[in-house]
Amino acid sequence: MIGFYQSFLVIALGVLVSAADFSLFGITIDIPLPERSCGNHNRDVRKEWGELKRAERIDYTNAVLCMQGKPQHLPREEYPGVRNRFDDFVATHINYTLNVHLSGLFLPWHRHFLWLWEKALREECGYPGHLPYWNWPLWSENLKASPLFDCSDSSLSGDGEYNPGEQSLSGGAVTIPRGSGGGCVRCGPFKDMQIHMGPFDRNIVSFAKLPAPGFDYNPRCLNRSLNNFVSSNYDNETIVDRLLAAPNMSDFQTVMDYWPARPKGVLGVHGGGHFSLGATLQDLFTSPQDPAFMLHHGMIDRLWSIWQAKDEDHRRFALNGTNMLLNPPNATLVTVDMEMEFGVLDRPRSVGEVMDPTRYGYCYSYS
């Protein structure tokens, strides 16, 4: 009897999803349904910010502002710094930072994190487009001239006010000169934006568990300091080409993050993007508080997807590393069966579910 109703409901509904629950006479039945087919005819295309029309850029920033105006899902008593739906994503990133950075989970975890963000923008804020990305080499010589950071109403806002107290960053082989701002952002769509959590200590080597301030409430302005030295040296076309030419996952990770640790002070393309925009984006834990975070990681996901597609047999499921920051010897090696947590944002996902942007509910590519 149940088999008959399963067949009937699948045919009648014609739903192309991965699974569905139906209740028949008080009995709940989990019916596996065919995976959505994904091809050129229905694939979502994520575009570079400069490719978008002005109105499309404003659609995106309006959707981000919408997320900042929606109530949070996380409980305030446990997460006092979470003040809106946008902060749910920040807190989730904080919660799993020690597992999903400088580890084998970095690329797969952030791929799904971005997809959840795009899904929330579309479903909760009516955003009609798809996640844009920041193509670093296009603007690496002059960030202020880019459509991302030119302070216009169709940008992601721009530089912060000049702060004479901002210092250069020194460490080992490289000294990074200070950027051109260092204070609060006062122009563009996010000129009045307040961030709520952090900052965290940058000495990540000492972290064995989530350090203070955790999820405490610490309201302050969005800080930026555009740094052409960083962007032109660590996110240029030569280094991007080197990343895509990596013969294996270990070499890919090395160019991405100079991972495992290389001489102190040397950045990979990932760190280059973070350190080119100032203090808010430099915070390992709370960096999603800068709206540029999602576009920066969109570029990372784009390059990973290009690299994977160059050699499907050897790269589609290529993994390397563990499930803990800096891959300590007691950590567990990452496999396709390992589950990744996303807290309030989604159910756990296996690493294998996120390795292909055209399967398991994904259907996207990059321009």
Is residue 226 predicted with pLDDT exceeding 80? yes
Single out the residue of 94, 131, 126 nearest to residue 345, CA to CA: 94
User: Could you give the percent of the chain with pLDDT greater than 70?
Assistant: 87
Task: Please give the model's pTM, rounded to 2 decimal places.
Answer: 0.90
pLDDT in tens, 287-307: 999 999 999 999 999 999 999
Residue 66, Cβ neighbours under 10 Å: how many? Answer: 18
Q: pLDDT band at 285, cuts 50/70/90?
A: very high
> Tokens representing 18?
């991965």
Average pLDDT over residues 313-328: 97
Is residue 13 predicted with pLDDT exceeding 80? no
Q: pLDDT band at 229, cuts 50/70/90?
A: very high
Average pLDDT over residues 92-111: 98
Average pLDDT over residues 52-69: 98
Is residue 82 predicted with pLDDT exceeding 80? yes
- The C-alpha atoms of residue 230 and residue 236 are separated, in whole angstroms, by 10
pLDDT in tens, 335-355: 999 999 999 999 999 999 999
Is residue 61 predicted with pLDDT exceeding 50? yes
Q: Percent helix, strand, coil in the chain (nearest 5)?
A: 40, 10, 50
Is residue 233 predicted with pLDDT exceeding 90? yes
For residue 6, the model assigns a pLDDT of 38
More confident residue, 22 or 305: 305
For residue 3, the model assigns a pLDDT of 43
- The C-alpha atoms of residue 103 and residue 275 are separated, in whole angstroms, by 19
CATH architecture, domain 44-366: Orthogonal Bundle (1.10)
For residue 1, the model assigns a pLDDT of 39
Single out the residue of 134, 146, 145, 122 nearest to residue 59, CA to CA: 122
Average pLDDT over residues 163-192: 91
